[in-house]
Amino acid sequence: MDGATQLKIDTWLNGNYDQETKDEIRRLQKENPTELTESFYRNLEFGTGGLRGIMGVGTNRMNKYTVGMATQGYANYLKQSFSTQPKVAIAYDSRNNSRFFAETAAKVFAANGIKVYLFQSLRPTPELSFTIRYLGCQGGLVLTASHNPKEYNGYKAYWNDGGQLVPPHDKNVIKEVEKIASVDEVKWAGAENNITVIGKEVDEAYMSMVRSLSVYPEIIEKQRNLRIVYTPIHGTGIKLVPEVLQRFGFTNVHVVDEQATPDGNFPTVVYPNPEESEAMSIGLKKAKELDADILLGTDPDADRVGIGIKDNNGDWVLMNGNQTAVLAFNYMIEARKAKGIAQDNDMVVKTIVTTDMIDEIARQSGIKCYNVLTGFKWIAELIKEKEANENYVIGGEESYGLMIGSKLRDKDAVSAVALLCEMAAYEKNQGKTLYNKLIQLYIKYGFYKESLISITKKGMNGQKEIADMMESYRKNPPTNINGSSVIQLLDYELQSGKNLQTGETWEIKLPVSNVLQFILADGSKISARPSGTEPKIKFYFSVNTKLDNANDFEAVKKELDNRINGIITDLKLK
């Protein structure tokens, strides 16, 4: 063990830390020194989105002390930034210790003279974003690790627009957090009268907002018996989703009982993530038993949604995030036009790794589509930049996130579930399914197929291995992938694009981000993006071709799958 790590351990053993923490450190010294090193070899980084890590003792773990120190730094920045008493809203999900961490943060904020609105019990992350705007707060906080395994927890910080921190506030908060060198600098308690507990009133306002997003309530009235199966996967969605569906007018909603109770141990799944087929498997079984029309699942903090629908053979299939986004974007554009409520200045927003099929739908529909960096904070920032002149309709990203309407500024699975059910009702009213609709869209706009590989590099060397991989791609970009020439290299860290055939270069006018994209002559696109919160790197693949008719769907799908597999093999990613 290096000296710096040992010094941190000694500081915790001899400093103002509770006895239970010290006892756990001594136990690890005897029983698991490797784990002890992992827990202390670095400080858990307060990144641009906040904290996320494994729970436990140590500077590299989520615990009372790392949460308290982060909150003290954030509190200091809020007080520097606003001349009047700042207000913050705090929510938390169903994870183990989420409530304890939320109360810890609330007490630290309060002791620093900041007004705190703390939810009385667990709530979805999107409601926190809404609450910041609704109550006129200057900041906010949600305790969640989203879809990570049960060992994790996290701390997401928000600004006064209801979006997560963006420049300059993200970097400035990080600086203030890094200044807190000791737990003795944290104001742990006092002035608890600054804390107000909130609940039903905000729930009502939020659910009314979601209800207002409905485009075709009269269609729902005709199809109110749509058979819906919903699973909250042991998370916060149970608090609001069934109620919202009822308010939309749906009367035949079936909650997956085995996953209905909030539980931070997530007993029925390995990963509480609707992107994982395993997490949706119990819901799929129930959907088959009931011959349902649609299956929906939300992650623990209810900001991501996964859906299952029947294909043309009556077999259940899970949609990926790009397919769900295509259906949702198209519906909001198409339905608003048909209903006569579209505006000339409507706009939609997606991220650079989300399917380009959305760009094509927007282009042919005569509506602006903006591309931003990965993360809904960038969608929120673009809305802020454009809202004086343009009307935001919907935004989304491939990782199962949608944000409909501008009354909140983060991805929202509660409203997404409701609108996806409305979409299913709309198609059923015409004797069709969402699967039929997706194929129709492929015929009209081109068949786009996407895939994703996530490679994890654990331990102290993980981040370096990922950095080396990205550096290699930058210095020696491939010139040919799967038999197709690489015609463009887009480097979002250097903010530059280059035509590899002509040598032409141009500026990418987006904030700096460690992302590389390779555009091939056959229209394929490969994106490489290290995670900002975990030691992993993601590779996104997008291919497309023409689909002439529905009868060719399976054959063309196989052709595109083969092209993706060829790219993955050529890049030696499997």
Q: Give per-residue pLDDT as tens, 267-286.
A: 999 999 999 999 999 999 99
Does position 299 have pLDDT exceeding 80, yes or no? Answer: yes
Residues 299, 402: contact at Cβ < 8 Å? no
> Pseudo-torsion of CA 256, 262, 266, 267, nearest 10°?
-70
Say if residue 574 is exposed, middle or buried (CB neighbours under 10 Å; 0-12, 13-18, 19+). Answer: exposed
Amino acid 147: pLDDT: 87
pLDDT at 458: 75
Average pLDDT (477-485) is 94
Length of the chain, please? 574
Average pLDDT taken over every residue of the chain: 96
Look up residue 110 and give its two tokens: 């309060």
Residue 282 is predicted with a pLDDT of 98
Residue 200: which of 103, 302, 116, 131 has the closest Cα?
131
Question: What are 225's two structure tokens?
Answer: 């018996």
Gap between the Cα atoms of 419 and 551, Å rounded: 29
Q: Is 86 a residue whose pLDDT tops 70? A: yes
Q: Report the pLDDT value the prediction gives residue 533, as an integer from 0 to 100.
A: 60
Strand pairing class (316-318; 305-310): antiparallel
Mean pLDDT calculated for residue range 278-298: 97
Among candidate residues 146, 214, 399, 542, the one labeled active-site is 146
Tell whether omega for the bond before 168 is within 30 degrees of 0, i.e. cis: yes
Residue 408 vs residues 380, 392, 417: alpha-carbon distances, Å: 9, 11, 16
Instruction: Domains for the chain: give ranges and CATH numbers.
Output: 1-37 (no CATH), 42-205 (3.40.120.10), 225-445 (3.40.120.10), 449-570 (3.30.310)
What's residue 48's pLDDT? 80
DSSP 457-501: --STTHHHHHHHHHHHHHHS--SEETTEEEEEEEETTTTEEEETT
What does the pLDDT average to over 538-559? 96
Q: What are the distances in angstroms from CA 469 to CA 425, 524, 539?
A: 46, 21, 12
Is 146 a residue of the active site? yes
- Rounded to an integer, the average pLDDT of 499-506 is 93
pLDDT digits (tens, 9 = 90+) for 95-109: 999 999 999 999 999
Please compute the mean of the pLDDT values over residues 376-389 and round it to a whole number: 96
Residues 6+ apart with CB under 8 A from 4: none
Give the CA diameter of the chain.
Answer: 72
Structure confidence at residue 321 (pLDDT)? 96
Q: Quick one: how far is CA 534 from the chain centroid?
A: 14
pLDDT of residue 535: 77
CA distance 189 to 191: 7
**pTM, entire model:** 0.95
Q: For the sheet containing 195-198, what is the strand order?
A: 50-54, 152-159, 139-143, 87-92, 115-119, 195-198
Mean pLDDT of 137-162: 96
The pLDDT of residue 207 is above 80: yes
pLDDT the model gives residue 460: 64
Taking residues 184-213, report their average pLDDT: 97
**101 neighbors 153 (Cβ within 8 angstroms):** yes
